[in-house]
Amino acid sequence: MVIHLGQDEPEWDTLRYHPEEVTELYLGSAMNQQDRADILATAKALNPNIKVFQAKRNAKGVIAFDVV
């Protein structure tokens, strides 16, 4: 996980976590298939029980999420 740090610190750092703490993953609607496949494989390897959602935009431009 990436976190923003305070003033006069580097722009970002990595936060250690236990894989089971990340229970949901939301994928963007414009993600290409190779990136999607890579991210899904990594997520499932770290936490096989992770819930994954894929963003989509309907005809009116409203964003919704489908379960993957």
Angle of CA points 40, 45, 30, to nearest 5°? 10
Structure tokens at 23: 């229970």
Strands 51-57 and 24-27 come out as parallel
- pLDDT of amino acid 17: 77
**9-62 confidence digits (pLDDT tens):** 666 656 677 888 889 999 999 999 999 999 999 999 989 999 999 999 989 999
Is pTM beyond 0.75? Reply is: no
Residue spans per domain, the chain: 23-68
